[in-house]
Chain A
Amino acid sequence: MLSSKDIISIKDLSREAILNILDTTDLLLDHETKHETMRGKILATVFYETSTRTKISFNVAMKRLGGNVIGFSHLKNSSFLKGESFYDTLKILEGYCDIMALRAPWEGAARYAGEIVQVPVINAGDGANQHPTQTLLDLYTIRRTQGRIDKLKIGLLGDLKYGRTVHSLLLGLGLFNVELFLISPKQLKIPNRYQRYLESREIRYHQMPDYREILKELDILYVTRVQKERFADEIEYAQLKDSYILTRAELKGVRDNLRVLHPLPRVNEIATDVDESVHAAYFEQAKYGVNVREALIYMLMKAGKGES
């Protein structure tokens, strides 16, 4: 079971806690119709900024468990603009619900929320800091499609410098025995502190500018977007952008079990002809987002004060 009443940061989770969450997700996914465990319970989706997919995914998760959902989905729909403090809003909502999913534009908001309220809080993204349910669904998809996480060769492709998703996934993967291929333009290489983290965990990793040379070796390729605004020099961007578009033709000769993941939304970094390939797993991955959130709601409510 989980050691904390909240899910705030991937850093708080041990390997055992992560595996426990993935096992519970399996259980719920494989016995979907049997669970109505949240009947009479209310999830508040407290979204200070819009994130349509994450919010819908939490809504569906709670409804599948038989519970109800309340909440707001933008700063302008909250009382914050009227001058109400974050603290007051959360204390009021605490009285209306049994569990909260919080999305806020301020880093640290979820940690603070967890301290303010007694009900369990799930961080659905706090500014540029953490988005742990994304990482958990990434790890779940890897295990679901491969049967394991240990001993896999995993490529992380794209913006490794600024991408919150990649950094968080890297912290999670650091708890497993994996070999990593960090593929990015030199301007967007992984920050030193993450390299130090991998070294401290004795994770084998390689850095390279092109995925084509190692694609045939990989079990997982996790693709993220290279954004134009990250480049000071437009010519440099123009030269690079096409070298980071994965096409179906490039997937010839790869390992049968290779799966391509993407946190979505995609722009053009995976050509649409890849969608029909057996290797494409990104829509499946988005679907698992619901199952993982179901598991988290279920586990936190069972463990915490939310369960009456």
Chain B
Amino acid sequence: MKQIDFIQNGTVIDHIKAGESFKVLEVLQMIEHISEGQCKVMIGCNFDSGVINRKDIIKISGGFLTQKEVNQVSLIAPRATVSIIRNSRIIDKYKLQVESELHNIIACRNPNCITNVESMPTRFHTLSADAGEFQCHYCEVIMEKEDLRFV
């Protein structure tokens, strides 16, 4: 069943847990070529899914993500899949994976953390990818999904 329009070139982020696509859009909004209107973004919510019951889906026509951007999306939608489409064909498809250590991807929520005082890269340990819990390597504060702020 066709749920949203096919795209000829671009990226499809599928199997986003229902309701979380808006948070993913916040990440995509920071990406220049997407936010500046060079590509069309389609969003579908609450579709049936055999894999995760109900899912959201985002299609970016004419837009591709860097590895860092993919890593950022993975923190919000750890079970999503990404497909790269060229000339209407899927040329690459993979499941997102949250790295066990995050290097300079998110900022620490603790204003008194050394990473917010000194100009230095951040580092986090993933405690639970599904629950979205990450511990700062330096100040040991635990971040939850709502706290995530990208570097």
CB within 8 Å of B: which residues of A?
A: 9, 11, 85-87, 104-109, 111-112, 126-130, 193
Give min CB distance, B94 to chain A, whole Å.
32
Q: Is the CB of B119 within 8 A of A108?
A: no
User: Do B113 and A107 touch (CB < 8 A)?
Assistant: yes
B143 CB to nearest chain A CB (Å): 13
Tell me what chain B mostly uses at the interface: helix, strand, loop, or mixed: loop
Classify chain B's interface size. 10 to 19
| Number of interchain pairs (Cβ within 8 Å) | 53
Whole-angstrom distance between the alpha carbons of A52 and B66 in the complex? 51
The 8 closest A-B pairs by CB, nearest first: A108-B138, A107-B139, A108-B139, A108-B114, A106-B114, A109-B114, A111-B138, A112-B114
**Inside 8 A of A108's CB, which chain B residues have their CB?**
108, 113-115, 136-140
> Nearest Cβ in chain A — how far from B24, in angstroms?
29
Cα A105 to Cα B117 with chains together (Å) = 11
CB of A106 within 8 A of CB of B140, answer no
A residues less than 8 Å from B136 (CB atoms): 108
How many whole Å from A168's CB to the nearest CB in chain B? 11
User: Is B26 an interface residue when CB atoms closer than 8 A count as contact?
Assistant: no
B110 → chain A closest CB, angstroms: 6
From the candidates B110, B114, B137, B141, name the one contacting A86 in the complex (CB within 8 A). Answer: B114
With a cutoff of 8 Å between Cβ atoms, the chain B residues found around residue A129 in the complex are: 139-140
Within the complex, the shortest CB–CB distance from B136 to chain A, in Å, comes to: 7
B146 at the interface (CB under 8 A from A): no
Write out the residue numbers on chain B whose beta carbons fall within 8 Å of the beta carbon of A85.
118-119
**B120 in the interface, Cβ–Cβ < 8 Å?**
yes
Q: A126-B114, A130-B140 are in contact. List 13 more A-B contacts (CB 8 A).
A: A9-B140, A85-B118, A86-B118, A105-B112, A106-B113, A107-B113, A107-B141, A108-B140, A109-B138, A111-B114, A128-B112, A129-B139, A129-B140
